[in-house]
DNA sequence: TTTATATATTAACATATGTTCAGTTAATGT
DNA sequence: ACATTAACTGAACATATGTTAATATATAAA
């Protein structure tokens, strides 16, 4: 029987939390079982009561990487319906990314993706899928709608989506890198809004 | 005396070449001395005839990271003089990045930067300096000139520089990630040119 | 030819890592 | 009270790593 179901699950969670931190800092290889155990406050052998091996810890964390907070945005506000709002819609999307940039849990997940990007093909697939496929497709739909509504000048919606998204990605990365070394991010505090302004000026049809 | 100066330097170069490849693939930690030695065709202890330790190999490679091929562009074609050309100037800059994206030696250097980005503060500084400071400042000057010349609409040159550069960075990263898994990059073959077109449409003053 | 020296090899070291296993502890169900 | 069992500890293992020491080899200078 469970000696203490509470303790059990909390220890398992502690391991995951510690692993998340350590992998975000040192990568998969750098996050050793001993470091994780030490962070939790147990011996390394105790880890194996909760996970089959180190790989399983990583796999468990990986699941979180598949869940994208921006999926929620596109589900709640599908472009087909809400893109008519034009600039407002783009601003909302940009604000979502801005918020994520300063959310500490999501920052860790993003760091894990980046730290493993070049060495782990699976993570690379997730990265490509999210930042170069999914979001772009959704935004592409949005721009298509805006063209139909006569809000923006006509053109290739796919290109437009990339042009709109790329700076957001660039600013998000910039934010992360500055934060890693505890540098000031004040220069980026309004950049997301400014981007939407600039972009809209370039594509909007001033009627 | 040197038994064979030719052999000496070529072995040393072989070590650097092998290390470059291995670090680009597996990162600094993953590129073990034994792997490097094996790639060169000598025992690991022989490495220490050419380098004090592993750190020195890495340091030697790091020097290359400081040299940016785009510095040459801005030296040969300073914005103060050439930016008057407007769109042509932007296209030249974009083409430089495009060419680098498909240059195998530069790809390796870029991979090393990315693979160590999250774990090595020094590399992070180089990365920030190059992609978020230097290029942006140069481009910022260029846009300032274009505004003075009445080629583009007025606005914040710094913001404009970021808006212009971010997609180029985004496409460059996309190219690298696709190439890593031997995926097709045909969809990106003309994207750099298209970006310049799109951007120019958004800022140009049609006289 | 002899000598000196750069460069290589073989072997070993100290350490870090992932993992296993025998035994201990403490809470739970009977 | 007693047996059961999840969770933990301590110790060890096999392996990988960075590094060093003793030794061999081969080439250039004398």
Distance CA A78, CA A145 (A): 11
Q: What is the 3-state secondary structure (H, E, C) of chain A?
A: CCCCHHHHHHHHHHHHHHHHHHHHHHHHHHCCHHHHHHHHCCCHHHHCCCCCCHHHHHHHHHHHHHCCHHHHHHHHCCHHHHHHHCHHHHHHHHHHHHHHHCCHHHHHHHHHHHHHCCCCHHHHHHHHHHHHHHHHHHHHHHHHHHHHCCCECCCCHHHHHHHHHHHHHHHHHHHHHHHHCCCCCHHHCCHHHHHHHHHHHHHECCC
Q: Which of A157, A158, A167 to mutate to test the interface with B (most CBs of B within 10 A)?
A: A167
CA distance A36 to chain B (A): 18
> Exposed, middle or buried: residue A130 (CB in 10 Å: 0-12, 13-18, 19+)?
middle
Asked if residue B9 has pLDDT above 70, the reply is no
Distance CA B164, CA B83 (A): 14
What residues does CATH 1.10.10.60 cover in chain B? 5-61
pLDDT above 70 covers what percent of chain A?
Answer: 95
Nucleotides on chain C within 7 angstroms of protein Cβ: 5-11, 16-22, 26-29
Cβ of B169 and A171 within 8 Å? Answer: no
Whether A81 has its CB under 8 Å from any CB of chain B: the answer is no
What is the architecture of the domain spanning B5-61? Orthogonal Bundle (1.10)
CA distance A26 to chain B (A): 6
- Model confidence at B74, pLDDT cuts 50, 70, 90, reads very high
The one-character DSSP state at B130 is: I
> Exposed, middle or buried: residue B41 (CB in 10 Å: 0-12, 13-18, 19+)?
exposed
Whether A174 has its CB under 8 Å from any CB of chain B: the answer is yes
Tokens, residue A199: 């972009």
Distance CA B73, CA B142 (A): 13
What is the architecture of the domain spanning A67-203? Orthogonal Bundle (1.10)
Mean pLDDT of A84-94: 98
Distance CA B114, CA B8 (A): 31
CA distance B78 to chain A (A): 25
Fold for the domain defined by A5-62: Arc Repressor Mutant, subunit A (1.10.10)
Task: Measure A34 CA to D22 C1' (Å).
Answer: 36
Other CB atoms within 10 A of residue A3 CB = 7
Task: Measure B35 CA to C7 C1' (Å).
Answer: 19
Cβ–Cβ < 8 Å for A166, B170 = yes
CA distance B152 to chain A (A): 11
> Exposed, middle or buried: residue B26 (CB in 10 Å: 0-12, 13-18, 19+)?
middle
Whether A166 has its CB under 8 Å from any CB of chain B: the answer is yes
Whether A82 has its CB under 8 Å from any CB of chain B: the answer is no
From the list A119, A165, A203, which residue is nearest B115 (CB)? Answer: A119
Q: Give the nearest nucleotide to A11, CA to C1'.
A: D7
What residues does CATH 1.10.10.60 cover in chain A? 5-62
Chain A / chain B CB contacts < 8 angstroms: 108
pLDDT digits (tens, 9 = 90+) for B144-193: 999 999 999 999 999 999 999 999 999 999 999 999 999 999 999 999 99
What residues does CATH 1.10.357 cover in chain B? 67-203
The one-character DSSP state at B152 is: B
Nucleotides on chain D within 7 angstroms of protein Cβ: 4-11, 16-22, 26-29
- Considering only CA atoms, which of B126, B113, B13 is closest in space to residue B66? B126
pLDDT digits (tens, 9 = 90+) for A136-179: 999 999 999 999 999 999 999 999 999 999 999 999 999 999 99
pLDDT above 70 covers what percent of chain B?
Answer: 95
């Amino acid at each position: 029987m469970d000696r203490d179901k509470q303790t059990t699950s909390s220890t398992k969670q502690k391991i995951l939390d510690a692993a998340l931190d350590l992998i975000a800092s040192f990568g998969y290889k750098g996050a050793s079982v001993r470091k994780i155990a030490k962070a939790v406050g147990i011996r390394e052998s105790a880890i194996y009561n909760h996970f089959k091996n180190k790989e399983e810890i990583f796999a468990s964390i990986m699941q979180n990487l598949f869940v994208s907070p921006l999926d929620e945005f596109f589900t709640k506000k599908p472009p087909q319906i809400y893109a008519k709002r034009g600039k407002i819609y783009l601003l909302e999307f940009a604000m979502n990314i801005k918020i994520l940039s300063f959310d500490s849990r999501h920052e860790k997940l993003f760091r894990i993706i980046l730290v493993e990007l070049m060495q782990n093909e699976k993570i690379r697939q997730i990265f490509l899928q999210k930042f170069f496929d999914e979001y772009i497709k959704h935004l592409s739909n949005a721009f298509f709608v805006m063209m139909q509504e006569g809000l923006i000048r006509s053109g290739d919606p796919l290109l437009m989506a990339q042009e709109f998204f790329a700076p957001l990605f660039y600013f998000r990365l910039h934010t992360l890198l500055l934060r890693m070394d505890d540098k000031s991010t004040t220069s980026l505090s309004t950049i997301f809004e400014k981007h939407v302004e600039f972009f809209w000026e370039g594509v909007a049809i001033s009627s």
